[in-house]
């Protein structure tokens, strides 16, 4: 049976359709699930193998990006979510979804909301939409299995994507325990802090991190927007590595 993916929606979710498509194309069975349906028990997380938090501006990104949704999930669905994680199912948060996972305290390890890491305003000071390159680091992450050192093109579209850490020790722990999954690189494939290749000034050029189990991935750029030949700006003049393998890895995990 195809693994079932819950594409979590709420007020202001807006990258749900491309994410829905990415998982379907990878061989999964996607379903739109509204937070209210989980809260009112019309749908149950038990019936899904993957929970995905798409990008967008949940609740307008008021106060801080993803904050209101994170707070809602923490206080109204905590037990369902903890049970989901305990069953070693997978979770992915892209862009606003990543911000939400961090503000729930799920990434890169269990903590209070954004207690030791956070995603804050880009150094550039503004929202920015452009294609960038990321390289896959060595980690436990299920989504990036077998992709180590590969370079992917994908678009970023965010204003609050700078990954920051509380102090050196926290940063060191992230590096030492291989929580880093994706890093921004320049044209030559080298990890970079330079704008705009690194669009936000993230610590350690981090574009994506995983938790201690490797089952939860948070990523700022949008791999779900590079799953078709026509997605890349220069598909007319160059060959492109699509990001489908990231989603296929998640599907394969359940086979």
Partner 1 sequence: MIYRIEVTPHVPTFIDGDGEYILSEILGLGIQTIKKVRVVKIFKLEGNLSKIELQTIIDEVLVESFWQDYAVHTSVLPSKNAQTVEIARKPGVMDTEIESLLKAISDLGIKEIKMAGTGKKYIFTGKLSPKQLTFITEKILMNKIVDRVVTKKEKTLIVGSKRTPTQTIQIRAMNNEDLMKLSHDKLWLNSEEMREIQGYFKKERRDPTDVEVEILAQTWSEHCCHKTFNAELIIDGVKKSSLMSRLKKATKILDKKWCLSVFKDNAGVIELDRDFGISGKVETHNSPSAIEPYGGAMTGSGGVFRDIMGCGLGSKVIMSTDMFCVGVPDLKAEDVPDGCIHPKKLLKEVVRGVRDYGNRMGIPTNNGSVHFHKDYRAKPSIIVGAYGIIPKKQVNKKALRAGDAVITIGGKTGRDGIHGVTFASGSMTANTENTSSSAVQIGNAIEEKRMFDAILVCRDKGLLRFAQDCGGGGYSSAIGEIAEKIGVDIHLDRIPLKYPGLASWEIWISESQERMVIVVAPKDIDQVIQICKNFNVDARVLGEITNTKRLKLFYKDKLECDLEMNFLHDGCPITEKNGTYVPNLFEEPLFAEPKNYNFILKKLLASWDVCSKEPIVRQYDHEVQGTSVLKPFTGPDADVPNDAAVIAPHLGKKTGMAVSHGMFPVFNRIDPYWGAAGAIDEAVRNMVAVGVNPSKIALIDNFIWPTPEERELGDLDRAVDACVDMSLTLKMPFVSGKDSLSSTYNAADGTVIKIPPTLCISAFAPVKNVDHTISADFKGVGNAIYIIGKTKPELGGSAYYALKNKVGNSVPHYDAIKTLKNYKKIYQAIQKKLIISAHDCSEGGIAVALTEMCFGNVSARIDTARIPYEGEMRPDQLLFSESHGRIIVEVPKGFVKEFEKHMESVDCSAIGTVTKESMVRISYKNIKLIESSVIELKRAWKKPMKEVFS
Q: Which residues are catalytic?
A: 95, 222, 224
For partner 1, the closer CB: 105 or 212 = 105
* C-alpha to C-alpha distance for 168 and 159, rounded to whole angstroms: 25
* C-alpha to C-alpha distance for 199 and 155, rounded to whole angstroms: 10
For partner 1, the closer CB: 46 or 127 = 127
For partner 1, the closer CB: 89 or 103 = 103
In whole angstroms, how close is the CB of 140 to partner 1 at the nearest point? 25
For partner 1, the closer CB: 70 or 181 = 70
Helix (H, G, I), strand (E, B) or coil at 205: helix
Whether the bond between 108 and the residue before it is cis, its omega within 30 degrees of 0, is yes
In whole angstroms, how close is the CB of 239 to partner 1 at the nearest point? 14
* C-alpha to C-alpha distance for 44 and 36, rounded to whole angstroms: 11
Angle between helices 78-86 and 67-76 (to 10 degrees): 80
In whole angstroms, how close is the CB of 136 to partner 1 at the nearest point? 21
Residues in contact with partner 1 by CB under 8 A are 9, 11-15, 17-18, 21, 25, 34, 36-37, 55-57, 59-64, 67-68, 71-72, 74-76, 112-116, 118, 120-121, 123, 125-131, 155, 157, 164, 166-167, 222, 224-225, 227-228, 230-231, 233-237
Q: Which residues of 145-170 are buried (b: 16+ CB within 10 A; e: fewer)?
A: bebeeeebbbbbbbbbbbbbbeeeeb
In whole angstroms, how close is the CB of 255 to partner 1 at the nearest point? 23
CA angle 8, 11, 15 (to 5 degrees): 55
In angstroms, what CA-CA distances link 36 with 9, 10, 65? 9, 8, 20
For partner 1, the closer CB: 69 or 136 = 69
Do the beta carbons of residue 89 and residue 217 sit within 8 Å?
no
Going by C-alpha positions, the residue among 84, 72, 10 that lies closest to residue 45 is: 84
Specify the pairing of strand 206-210 against strand 216-219.
Answer: antiparallel
In whole angstroms, how close is the CB of 75 to partner 1 at the nearest point? 5
């Amino acid at each position: 049976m195809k693994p079932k993916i819950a594409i979590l929606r709420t007020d202001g979710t807006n990258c749900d359709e491309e994410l829905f498509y990415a998982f379907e194309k990878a061989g999964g069975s996607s379903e739109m699930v509204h937070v209210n349906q989980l809260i009112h028990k019309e749908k149950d997380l038990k019936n899904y193998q993957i929970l995905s938090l798409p990008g967008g501006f949940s609740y307008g990104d008021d106060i801080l990006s993803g904050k209101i949704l994170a707070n809602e999930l923490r206080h109204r669905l905590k037990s369902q979510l903890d049970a989901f994680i305990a069953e070693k199912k997978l979770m992915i948060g892209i862009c606003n979804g990543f911000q939400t996972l961090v503000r729930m305290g799920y990434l890169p390890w269990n903590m209070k909301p954004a207690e030791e890491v956070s995603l804050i305003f880009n150094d550039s000071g503004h929202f920015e939409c452009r294609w960038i390159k990321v390289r896959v680091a060595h980690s436990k992450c299920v989504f990036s299995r077998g992709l180590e050192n590969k370079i992917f093109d994908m678009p970023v579209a965010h204003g609050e994507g700078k990954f920051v850490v509380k102090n050196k020790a926290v940063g060191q722990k992230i590096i030492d325990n291989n929580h880093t999954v994706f890093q921004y690189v320049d044209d030559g494939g080298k990890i970079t802090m330079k704008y705009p290749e690194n669009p936000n000034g993230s610590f350690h050029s981090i574009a994506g991190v995983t938790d201690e189990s490797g089952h939860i991935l948070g990523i700022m750029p949008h791999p779900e927007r590079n799953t078709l030949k026509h997605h890349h700006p220069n598909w007319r003049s160059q060959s492109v590595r699509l990001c489908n393998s990231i989603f296929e890895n998640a599907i394969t995990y359940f086979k």
